[in-house]
Amino acid sequence: MIFSILTDTRVKASLDSDSYCQVCKLQRPAKAWHCKKCNACILRRDHHCFFFSRCIGLRNQRYYVLYLGYIFVSMIYSLYYNYYYVVTKFEEQSMVLSAFRVVNPFLRYLIPEPLGIADLYMLFLFLNTGLAFWSGGLFCFHVMNVVRGLTAHESRKDFGANWEMVKRNFVGVFGVRWFWAVISPFANSPLPEDAGLKCH
């Protein structure tokens, strides 16, 4: 996460291109977009991340995708142990009642039992399940965009995907030693010289 936040993805100099940014007064590559929140043109801009308060682009997309993968794995891991704890700790009828009371708060008024620790653990289990699905969906969406060679903006606008060059698309995001960069964000895997300048 730290690498995603600290990496600068802005266009630093004017390049030979057909696209011109009126705000930055720079020629920019084809996949560069101007971000109103960052007030800069971002090389191969994917999106402006609300959680990081930074644009995800050419130089930090690999860290962002890996971060989503780690979050998804940790959510599945905690979901397993949360479920295991709830099943072993509470009786089945108490667990079912707690689940209904968490899902439908109106049942709390019909069943005059005080809220117990089982209700709290069921709430955590439901939150964990929702976050696991959400982080898994985000991770799958961004991995599919990496494989297809698209940014989030292009996938929403239905730009043509480039399935023939899957390895080149991976190299464009994770660097020349992409197989090491997928395993560890600390791996030295430089991006190709033309990574942000050409459309894949």
53-96 pLDDT per residue, tens: 899 998 889 999 999 999 999 999 999 999 888 888 877 666 77
Supply the pTM of this predicted model. Answer: 0.80
pLDDT in tens, 9-63: 666 655 555 678 888 888 888 778 888 898 888 888 898 988 888 999 988 899 9
Report CA 47 to chain centroid distance, whole Å: 10
Q: What is the pLDDT of residue 200?
A: 43
Calculate mean pLDDT across residues 97-124.
72
Task: Give 116's Cβ-side CA count (13 Å radius).
Answer: 12
Chain Cα centroid distance, residue 42: 18
